[in-house]
Amino acid sequence: MQHVDVVVVGGGLAGGTLANVLAQQCPTLSIAVVEAHVPSNDTHPSFDDRSIALAADSVNYLQAHNLFNAQSDYACAIKHVQVSDRGHFGKTQISHQDYNLAALGYVVEVRPWGQALHRALSAQQNVTQFCPAKVVAVSMHESHNQLTLDDGTKLGAKLVVVADGAQSATRSLLHLDFHTQQYNQHALIANVEVRDDHQSHAFERFTEHGPLALLPMSRNRYSLVWCDDAHKLNELQQSTGDEFIAALQDEFGYRAGLFTQVGERSVYPLVWGRSNTLVSSRAVVIGNAAHAIHPIAGQGFNLGLRDIKELVARIAQAGDELGSYAFTSEYAQAREQDITRVMTLTDTLVRTFSNSARSIALGRSAGLAAMQLCSSLRQPLAKQLMGFN
C-alpha cells in the first residue's frame, strides 16, 4: 500500500483546483489525485462545452495561485448584470463601476480552463496522479483510510477528499446519503452569437417557466442557460438553427441585441441535492459531491471554491490532527452556514420567479424596481454575485 497525506478523488474543476492550491500552500504534504477520465481528452465529462461564472472573489483567489488568467481567450469579463422579469415592469442593473472593480466576475469556458488546471497539476512536485483510475473500495482505519483502485492499487491516506461530482461513487462507498429533489425544469445550454458587441453585459431574465441567462463570452458570443420544462426544451434542441434563434429572440427580446447563430445544444435535468453530512471518518466531501444547486445566479462553482478555501486553510494548520474527528467536524461546522444560505437563496429565487401568480409577480417587480432606485437595496444581491458575502 502506498501511503500519502491526502487523496483527492476527482480531478475535474473542484478536485483539480483543490490539488493545485494544496500543493502550493503545503509543499511538504504528499498528495494523490485519482481521476477516472484523462483530463486532456476532449470527452472528459467535467470539461464539456459549458461555461461557468466566476465571482470576483473567486477570481482573486484563483489568480493568487496562478490558476486563472483574465487575459486568456477562454475568459470574458462580466462588467454589467441586468436582472429583469418578463412581462412585468421591474428590473435592476449592477455595474462594476459602482464597486470600483475591473469586473464583477468572469465567464470561463470549462473545457480549456479544465485542461489548463490539469497542466498546472502535472507540474506540481508533491502530487501523484492515478489516471485513468476509479476507487472501487474504501476501508476505514483509526490512523488512515485505505482506497482500492480498479487496477488493484491500494492507497492509504490520513484524509480523503471526495470531489468527483454529484453522481459520486466514492461518496456512496463512504455510506453518505445524497438527498435530491427534482425541479420541474430542465436547462438548455448553448453558445449563441450576437450581431453587435455585447460590451461585457450579462442578463438574468426571469419568466413564468424559469430563468433565462446570457453570460458574455469572447468573439461576440453569449453562454445561454435556458430553464424551462423538458418537453419544450427538447423540441428546441431538435429545431433548426433559424427556428431556435427566432424562439430565443421572441422569449428574450432585444435587450442583448440581435441573435444570429447558435452552436451545439444540450439539455440537462435540474436538481437540488445535498449530502446528508459533509464528512465521514477521515473524509470530507466538497463541490458538487456535497451540494448540487440550480444554475440561477451562477453560484455553483463559487460555492465549491469556498469549500476549497476553507479546507486548504485548515489542512495548512492541521499538523498531526490532519483527518482526525476534530478536524473533519470543525470543517463541516465552518461550511454549514454558507452552504445552507446559498442553497436556500437559489431555491427561493427559482420558486419565487417561476411563478405566474399576480400578487407574487407584482411583489417581485416592485422589489426589482426598488433595487434600481436605491443602491443600498442592490448591495446584498451585488455582494452575492461577486462572492463577497
| Number of residues that this document lists for the chain | 389
Q: Within a domain: residue 67?
A: no
Contact between residue 219 and residue 186 where contact means Cβ atoms under 8 Å apart: no
190 and 328 fall within a common domain? no
Q: Within a domain: residue 343?
A: yes
Report field, pTM of the whole predicted structure over 0.75:
yes
91 and 206 fall within a common domain? yes
Per-residue model confidence (pLDDT) at position 382: 62
Task: Count Cβ neighbours within 10 Å for each residue of 342-351 and write b for 16 or more, e otherwise.
Answer: bbebbbebbe
CATH number at residue 249: 3.30.9.10
91 and 117 fall within a common domain? no
313 and 241 fall within a common domain? no
Burial zone of 373 (CB within 10 Å; 0-12 exposed, 13-18 middle, 19+ buried)? exposed
* Average pLDDT over every residue of 228-232: 95
298 and 150 fall within a common domain? yes
- Domain of 225 in residue numbering reads as 75-109+183-270+356-386
Q: Within a domain: residue 101?
A: yes
* Average pLDDT over every residue of 60-68: 97
Q: Within a domain: residue 367?
A: yes
Smallest Cα–Cα separation from 265: which of 298, 294, 235, 288?
235
Confidence check: pLDDT of 172 > 90? yes
89 and 150 fall within a common domain? no
* Average pLDDT over every residue of 329-333: 98
Smallest Cα–Cα separation from 94: which of 84, 107, 80?
80
Q: Chain-wide mean pLDDT for the chain?
A: 89
CATH number at residue 24: 3.50.50.60
231 and 221 fall within a common domain? yes
pLDDT tens digits for 13-56? 999 999 999 999 999 999 999 999 877 655 555 445 789 999 99
- Contacting residues for 51 by C-beta, under 8 A, at least 6 apart: 107, 108, 109, 110, 191, 215, 217, 223
Coil, strand or helix at 156: strand
Q: Euclidean distance between the first and final Cα of the chain, in Å? A: 43
Per-residue model confidence (pLDDT) at position 76: 96
Using pLDDT thresholds of 50, 70 and 90, give the confidence band for residue 337.
Answer: very high
Q: Which of 89-98, 108-117, 312-321, 347-356 has the lowest mean pLDDT?
A: 347-356
226 and 343 fall within a common domain? no
Number of domains in the chain: 2
What span, in angstroms and rounded, lies between the C-alpha atoms of 377 and 124? 45
Confidence check: pLDDT of 218 > 70? yes
Antiparallel, parallel or unpaired: β 75-78 and 279-280 = unpaired
87 and 114 fall within a common domain? no
Contact between residue 107 and residue 68 where contact means Cβ atoms under 8 Å apart: no
All 3 cell numbers of residue 34? 485519482
With a pLDDT cut of 90, the percent of the chain lying above it is 73
Per-residue model confidence (pLDDT) at position 210: 82
* Average pLDDT over every residue of 234-257: 94
pLDDT tens digits for 93-149? 888 988 888 999 999 999 999 999 999 999 999 999 999 999 999 999 999 999 999
44 and 119 fall within a common domain? yes
What span, in angstroms and rounded, lies between the C-alpha atoms of 43 and 49? 10
Q: Within a domain: residue 189?
A: yes
147 and 29 fall within a common domain? yes
161 and 299 fall within a common domain? yes
Smallest Cα–Cα separation from 67: which of 9, 115, 20?
20
Q: Within a domain: residue 192?
A: yes
User: Which has the higher per-residue pLDDT, 311 or 353?
Assistant: 311
Across 308-347, the runs of DSSP E, i.e. the strands, are none
Q: Within a domain: residue 62?
A: no
Per-residue model confidence (pLDDT) at position 47: 44
Q: Within a domain: residue 60?
A: no
Confidence check: pLDDT of 159 > 60? yes
Amino acid sitting at position 60: N
